[in-house]
Structure 1
Amino acid sequence: MSIQHRKVIQMEYKRNRNGEGTWRETASGNIEYRFTYTDEYGNRKVKSVTGVSENHCLERAEEFLARLRQRFEGINLDATIPELLYEKIESDFRKNYTGEQGYERNLRTIETIEKSAIGHMAIADIRVYHIERYLQSLTRYSNNTISKFYSMIKLAFAVAVDRGIVRTNLMENRNVKCPISDRPDKKVRGLTEEEQMKFINALSEYKPQNNHNTYRLQLLIELYSGMRMGEINALRPECINFSKGFIHVDRTISHGKASPFLKEGTKTKAGERDVPISAVLKPLLEEALEQMGDNPENLIFYDYNKGGVITTNQVCSMYKKICKDAGIPYYGQHALRHTFATRCIEAGIQPVVLKGWLGHTNIHVTLDTYADVFDRMNLGAISKFEDYMDKVLQGEE
């Protein structure tokens, strides 16, 4: 806004407060205040505001003029939450703060917000009760999904504050809390020993039609290594070190804006790791290397029919069929990774070791994810108490 325009607004506001504006009482008993102002094009205009008192009218007039000044300064007061978020995540993506997979997830979240009533409102016009109404509508989603919506709305207000569109981040109001889902959280569950054997038998007996891939080796490698399926499908021969007994994980198959692609780097920084090759895992890796064909990415597992990388969804579809044939519950193909972790805990492997093998960011992720398994394993510790009490009662202590 030019200095001249700024002066015009300030001077006119003072003149209005000194009596040059006009007042009248409306039929409903409210007060109407009419005053002149200069718009962004230099045109002189008249504005009317109503209130329950003269002071209330003056406050509304001041709010109107403040918003006008913001427009003069290039602040987009009509910006919506989705508009601010689209610009923000695009900027973060171009600066490599976010990968393609995270960028796609963010886009899907924003698209859902855009369909809501709050997504069509100018963020400057949103009040706490609008936010509350929107948050109340989210309880039908899972807690994980709710947290994404909540974080995105909070981010939009933070951007709006930085740009001078709003004065305060309403999401930081102590009364605005992240809602809790109506659904119970899905419990992480691996296969029981009996279910594991049923799965292995059904996988070996499965006869694919038209020579389709059964993804048998990938499924068994996940079962015996705990690697994520995207990491398995991204393996190259040089990742496998038989002499030292480990698989080096340093890339994954990611979902891009258009199609899946081979991503250099893992899901998280902790995801780059060395996974031990057990006696049961070694022959599976050797078989995979023997079956490997030439492909442009030099991947051990490659979709030669489509000419591209193999996605987790492709393998998951097969896993679902095998579970049905085996007569075992389907919890998603990721259950094989949880099964590996469960067997490790049952075998007495320490959480800090398992954390490294699984590529968890910190030990709390491992302990929280498999808390029920750790608790179950601790039940046997009562025998140590019983042995000790026997000695106490016999006077040996």
Structure 2
Amino acid sequence: MIESWRWYGDLDTISLNQILQTGASGIVTALHEIPYGEVWPRDAVAKRTARIRAAGMEWVVCESLPLHEDIKLGSGDLGTLFAHYRQSMANLAAEGVTAICYNFMPLIDWTRTDLAAPVVSGGTCLRFDAVKMAAFELHMLGRAAAEDDYSAAVVTKAAAWHEASSDDDRAALLNAIMCGLPGAYDRYDIEQLRAALARYDGMTRDDIRANFKRFLEEVVPTAEELGVRLCVHPDDPPRDILGLPRVVSGAEDVAWVMGAVDSVANGLTLCSGSLGAGPANDPVAIARTHADRIHFAHLRNVRKEPDGSFEEAAHLEGDTDMVALARVLLDEEAKRQADGRADANIPWRPDHGHDLLDDLTRDNFPGYPLIGRMRGLAEMRGVIAALKAG
């Protein structure tokens, strides 16, 4: 397995040299400065690749080559958007980047209500609090239908939280939720968010799936020609958010995606944290079922609560059996090596670490600290080494 690290380029406070010191050999990055829907020029890809190689590592996964929102909506000049996506894939492949992670989450990528929730042992973590999310939807956004998405107990607590909250509390909650917006780090106020959500009015789960299938039909054949492996990232969290249907949330969804265009080029980013946040999900079983289509892995853990809340746990301390999960990935690698597959070694990265020690003084991207992720990398490195030896 290829130890990797997500890096945000010039936007990142963590340098390539610091990443090299963690022991990671692969870099997971993207050209974040290019607006969604535009072509990634080959010279820009080449420049990023050369910079990473000069630091002693390789660009092993593009995370992500994002989809313009019109593709998810099924509107606008789709022909041009699909053509641009295919050309960007070609430019990445020409420079040796053949694993491409993406997601199909409408409007907002990941969603959390707290960016620095305290951890009992010290440090902070990302958290999704069902009560705060319900308070945001019902009392700040004014989405009355949200009441059906939460238990009566959560709805009651949400009203109490909102009543007791200060302007600063509500501003912090809005900021945390807006951190999940993709693209050039745009942020919405409440009215802007309502307007953005209105574009999805009337769209059903079947509509989103139809638009997803069209995307796959447009780009997977090109991926096959280029030797590219596309790998969809599961919804985070794996549930509908803000009334938006989500379609990569559980085992049935993943099976649908893999079957929508049945090709090894249409694969999965196995995110154990995203899938693990779903009470009905078994990340190990999902990995075992689709092992031959896993092209990238995000290894992290979460600890769930009965009301739908969850928070990031230390890598070996959450609800998912990370040892069993690593075993599935190593077994798959052995099969690929026996079959002579070019993609036998699966890139993985430690995801969403706790902010620990000096992390608390850095201006990190939420969930992407240096020390916290290095702890996760070291813990999973030990698990993998023990499994290989045993």
TM-score under structure 1 length normalisation: 0.22
Larger helix share, 1 or 2: 1
Larger Rg: 1
Larger strand share, 1 or 2: 2
TM-score under structure 2 length normalisation: 0.22
Query: Higher relative contact order by CA 8 Å / sep ≥ 6: 1 or 2?
Result: 2
